[in-house]
Amino acid sequence: MLHKRFWGLSVAAIILIVSLFWATTAFAGDGVIHVVRRGDTVGNLGWQYRVSSRAIVVANRLANPDLIYVGQRLVIPVRGGPTPRPPTPTPCPCEEIVILSPARGVTITNPVTVTGLAAGFEQSVVIAVLDGSAGEIGRAYGVIEGEYGQQGPFTTAVPFTPPANSQPGRIQVWSVSPRDGAIEHLSSVSVMVQGLELDPLLSQLERAVAAKDYAALRPLMTDPFPLERYRSQAITLTPAQAVAQLQKDYLGPGAPRLDFSVDARVLLGDRVKFAPDILHVVYSVGWGPGREDDAFLLIGDAAGRARWAGMIYVPRGQVDYR
């Protein structure tokens, strides 16, 4: 009786495992039906099932191999059933360079780790990160593991300069020709590049200053927050201390507005030297008791996010740039 009960449980377990496997893969004649999951690409599926990407494209009449979607049923033209994904990457017969991660459409942050399979001159590949205008914002060199001259895996962290705002971008991987240094076997994947979100910060800052919303200003500030009177030494405050002083002496009695039509750096010229982490400077008027003073709001990069990183206050009598 115990043996029969144990056998029944084993059969149930086997049926459960098989049913879970077949939930995303089923047979279709000489091929396999694969239900697309998040992160799948035609290149990845070619590697997984050991067939060429072109064979998958032809079998499914795909007009654009980059446009597959979660839940789509793709015919994989393989014989003898599905080939399980191996625990480590194995050579792919379909392309010289295959990008395994990041997957298409994923949001990347700095630095981005790129993995894949490749064959290249001197076992190396070049990896670049492009922004929405196709400008290169990061580059690194990857080392291919494995036998010299053969396709093997690579994993490389690529640092890049985050754009001001999030935008579509692209990861490109290529090898260099030993003959003339030209690009060979270029492979790419479209991604979303995480930016510093400068525009949303400026919108929040403009609203909070106009409304004198001190509670809204505090989370926009860096800690510490430098507050400087023009051509004087800056004092370093916490956001709470800075807000209290703004409310008492500068913003509270004034009626300031942010003037985005003025290039603040050009206006100041060489009068002020800004730290390298200052991304943007906003010119503002209407500060102080007489509502005639100016301020320059400094926007910096704080751990990959744009933040209000300090302020230069200019009393009317010290203005020498207009």
pLDDT at 57 over 80: yes
Co-location of 134 and 202 in the same domain = no
Residue 241 lies in a domain: yes
Question: Average model confidence (pLDDT) for the chain?
Answer: 86
Residue 112 lies in a domain: yes
Co-location of 209 and 313 in the same domain = yes
HSE-up of residue 46 (Cα within 13 Å, Cβ side): 25
CATH code of the domain in which 6 resides = 3.10.350.10
- pTM greater than 0.85 (yes/no): no
pLDDT tens per residue, range 247-281: 999 999 999 999 999 999 999 999 999 999 999 99
Residue 82 — pLDDT band, cuts 50, 70, 90? low
Identify the pLDDT of residue 41.
80
pLDDT at 30 over 70: no
Co-location of 43 and 102 in the same domain = no
Contact 144, 123 (CB under 8 A): yes
Residue 134 — pLDDT band, cuts 50, 70, 90? very high
pLDDT tens per residue, range 232-252: 999 999 999 999 999 999 999
Q: What is the mean pLDDT of residues 105-120?
A: 93
Residue 311 lies in a domain: yes
- Domain closes at, from 177, 193, 209: 193
Which residues have C-beta within 8 Å of that of residue 24, sequence separation ≥ 6?
34, 35, 37
Residue 207 lies in a domain: yes
Co-location of 242 and 300 in the same domain = yes
Q: What is the mean pLDDT of residues 176-189?
A: 89
Co-location of 160 and 183 in the same domain = yes
Co-location of 202 and 313 in the same domain = yes
Q: State the Cα–Cα distance between residues 173 and 180, nearest whole angstrom.
A: 18
Co-location of 232 and 157 in the same domain = no
Residue 86 lies in a domain: no
Identify the pLDDT of residue 122.
85
Co-location of 138 and 236 in the same domain = no
Strand duo 183-193 + 107-108: pairing: parallel
Range(s) of the domain holding residue 69: 2-76
Greater confidence (181 vs 214) lies with 214
pLDDT at 167 over 60: yes
Q: Which residue has the tokens 């446009």?
A: 67
Co-location of 203 and 303 in the same domain = yes
Identify the pLDDT of residue 17.
40
Q: State the Cα–Cα distance between residues 98 and 186, nearest whole angstrom.
A: 9
Identify the pLDDT of residue 12.
46
Query: Within the chain, where are the H helices?
Result: 2-22, 42-49, 53-60, 198-211, 214-217, 239-245, 264-268
Co-location of 237 and 281 in the same domain = yes
CATH code of the domain in which 147 resides = 2.60.40.2550
Query: For the chain, what is the domain count?
Result: 3
pLDDT at 88 over 80: no
Co-location of 224 and 179 in the same domain = no
Q: State the Cα–Cα distance between residues 199 and 219, nearest whole angstrom.
A: 16
Co-location of 177 and 243 in the same domain = no
Residue 17 lies in a domain: yes
- Domain closes at, from 133, 162, 193: 193
CATH code of the domain in which 242 resides = 3.10.450.50
| Range with lowest mean pLDDT among 35-39, 55-59, 106-110, 202-206 | 35-39
Q: Output the CA angle 199-140-198, nearest 5 degrees.
A: 5
pLDDT at 191 over 90: yes
